[in-house]
Amino acid sequence: MSLPDLRGATAIVGVAESDLGEVGPDRYAIELAAQAAGAALAEAGLNTRDVDGLFCAIAGRGMAPLDVAEYLGVRPRYTDGTMVGGSSFISHLHHAALAITTGACDVALIVYGSTARSDSGRGRLPSGPPELPSYEAAYRPRMPITGYALAAARHMHQYGTTRTHLAEVAVAARRWAALNPKAFVRDPLTIDEVLASRIVSSPLSSLDCCLVTDGGGAVVVTSAERARDLPRPPVYLLGAGEAHWHRTISQMPDLTVTAATESSTRAYAMAGVGPRDVDGVQLYDAFTINTILFLEDLGFCAKGEGGDFVSGGRIAPGGALPVNTNGGGLSYCHPGMYGIFPLIEATRQIRGEAGERQQPGVSIALTHGNGGQLSSQVTAILGGQETL
């Protein structure tokens, strides 16, 4: 049985964040998810009564779709609680498109919330420590950073990547964040400051690591036909692909190559475009090495050339390839999982609604999510009306 043609069949019609940063001890993840959902639905000219497809994942809530549906008062006829870490929400977009085109639902709400920062202040974490196999636990790794540090160290050894290359990623993210009034940290950052920051898991320092913030996000998706009658310009799903090869870092086949090589190949094929056609990239930058690995695996440069590729401000404001124009997980926000926020930023860039950080002529945007320890990889390519 062949799958339906998804290219341009569905569109994002509403996006929103909740309050971000540090919301305080009296607010909770599901409340932030609901705040974002209400704002995204309002932007789309819809309400909870229109929602018949619910897609969500919240850390620490094993039945997140049931909790969220009850809290919002929606009664979905299609539910998806796929939980593959931070890539879940781009996966949800792919699944929502399949559900809508096959008639399983008409209006899909993708939603997330987390109080990761405030939870730590309350003396409790939103979820327990990562599960480790005994052969990893014996070495007492500090997960997840230890896994990403392994990948960074291997990339350095194999390709000559340096800490300065990693610092270029952090500085670029901060320069974008300076243009985003919602970003958690906006003060200037230099390469020397990154290099001088405290090492957490060699070779990664504190400034190579993502933020820990509170926040939520929501994305509303419907059919292309219905989207044309709604208030905001539709942003169409042109292509999507998913892949995963491992769960634990010790089982990753090659520490320098991620399953983004496969997810992006599938997304490009569905969209009928390639890296040269992409006007902007929004990807999951939990650590600075992520950006280098993903730009390689998504086809923007050859394997091993990522460090040089990001150098000299290439991915910063004014550079040749705009990457994480909201400031990314490194400087904008990272509430436990970041994967819904690339979709929100890509939508705003295509609509021309990104304010001071808006890039000219964004017709095609690539979004990419990462889950686990470079484990789950999901790529989605979005486009405006002119791309159909």
Look at residue 119 in the predicted model and tell me its pLDDT. 84
pLDDT-derived band at 121, boundaries 50, 70, 90: low
Q: How far apart are the first and last CA of the chain?
A: 25
61 found inside a domain: yes
pLDDT tens profile 30-52: 999 999 999 999 999 999 999 99
pLDDT tens profile 246-265: 999 999 999 999 999 999 99
Alpha carbons 186 and 10: distance in angstroms, whole number:
35
Other C-beta atoms closer than 10 Å to the C-beta of 26 total 8
Helices 288-297, 163-177: crossing angle, 10 deg rounding = 100
89 found inside a domain: yes
Other C-beta atoms closer than 10 Å to the C-beta of 50 total 16
388 found inside a domain: no
pLDDT-derived band at 154, boundaries 50, 70, 90: very high
Alpha carbons 287 and 155: distance in angstroms, whole number:
14
pLDDT tens profile 332-358: 999 999 999 999 999 999 999 999 999
Alpha carbons 188 and 177: distance in angstroms, whole number:
9
Alpha carbons 31 and 36: distance in angstroms, whole number:
9
Q: What is the DSSP letter of 35?
A: H
277 found inside a domain: yes
Residue 268 annotated as catalytic: no
Residue 139 annotated as catalytic: no
* Residue showing tokens 């052969």: 135
Look at residue 140 in the predicted model and tell me its pLDDT. 78
362 found inside a domain: yes
Helices assigned H by DSSP within the chain:
29-44, 64-72, 88-101, 116-121, 134-137, 145-159, 163-177, 191-196, 224-227, 260-271, 288-297, 306-309, 328-331, 340-351
CA distances from 356 to 21, 120, 178, 328, 359 (A): 20, 33, 10, 16, 9
Do 176 and 317 contact (CB within 8 A), yes or no?
yes
Alpha carbons 329 and 310: distance in angstroms, whole number:
17
What is the gyration radius of the CA atoms in the chain, in angstroms? Answer: 19
User: How many distinct structural domains can be found in the chain?
Assistant: 1
Least confident of 115-129, 149-163, 281-295: 115-129
Full domain range(s) for residue 226: 3-121+210-383
Look at residue 68 in the predicted model and tell me its pLDDT. 96
CATH number at residue 278: 3.40.47.10
144 found inside a domain: no
Q: Determine which one of 112, 236, 268, 284 is catalytic.
A: 284
DSSP 275-302: GGG-SEEEE--SBHHHHHHHHHHTTSS-
Rounded mean pLDDT of 75-91?
97
Alpha carbons 110 and 107: distance in angstroms, whole number:
10
62 found inside a domain: yes
Kindly state the tokens that stand for 87: 């890539």
143 found inside a domain: no
Do 368 and 264 contact (CB within 8 A), yes or no?
yes
Please give the backbone phi and psi of residue 256, each rounded to the nearest 5 degrees, phi first: -105, 0
DSSP 140-193: ---TTHHHHHHHHHHHHHHH---HHHHHHHHHHHHHHHTT-TT-S--S---HHH
